[in-house]
Amino acid sequence: MDGFVATYTNRLDQKGRVSVPAPFRSLLAREGQDGLYCYPALDQPAIDGGGSRLQEAIASRLAVFETFSEEHEILSTAFYGDSRVLKIDQDGRIVLPEEFRTYAGITDTVVFVGQGFKFQIWSPERFEERQKEARTHLRSVTRGLGRNNPGRSAAGDQA
């Protein structure tokens, strides 16, 4: 069962470095990646990250369009232009670029959230808000289904 699972909270140091959770690192290594592929999440103030599977997913979305078509041009600008390949140093850390920290509202602490074939990087505060929403939403859904409270929300707890 390969996939990014669980959430981890790590701190940024003064250089803007942060450790990628070890389980995520070993999964990336298994995908045959040395760098970490990242871009701003489309509909959330967070950063999407992953390895070759994430890249392939993006490439396949572009592949349906004719090369040099206007559609291909503009989408590749948005996809690749906003992406970064972050180098993972030998201690397992990355430096989060300024644009990403701004976009996600990150200052000195980040949350890594596993999402299967990719994961997300959040600021703790914003992730907390989102979790709250997700829980109430989930509760209303389960109530509607007439089930018992199944327990925690899907995204799990702290590591």
Partner DNA sequence: TGGGATTGTATGGGCGTCAATGGAATCGCC
Partner DNA sequence: GGCGATTCCATTGACGCCCATACAATCCCA
Does residue 77 belong to the site contacting a second copy (CB under 8 A)? yes
Residue 159 CA: distances (Å) to CA of 8, 10, 37, 53 = 5, 10, 23, 25
Per-residue x/- mask for a second copy, residues 132 to 151, rule CB under 8 A? -xxx-xxx-xx-------xx
User: Is the sign of the CA dihedral 120, 112, 46, 140 positive or negative?
Assistant: positive
Region binding DNA by CB under 7 A among candidate stretches 87-95, 118-126, 128-136, 149-157? 87-95
In the range 99-138, which residues lie near DNA by CB under 7 A?
Answer: none
Task: Give yes or no for residue 21 binding DNA (CB under 7 A).
Answer: yes
The interface region with DNA, picked from 42-50, 68-76, 88-96, 116-124 by CB under 7 A, is 88-96
Give the binding site for DNA (CB under 7 A): 8, 10-15, 18-22, 25-26, 87, 89-93, 95
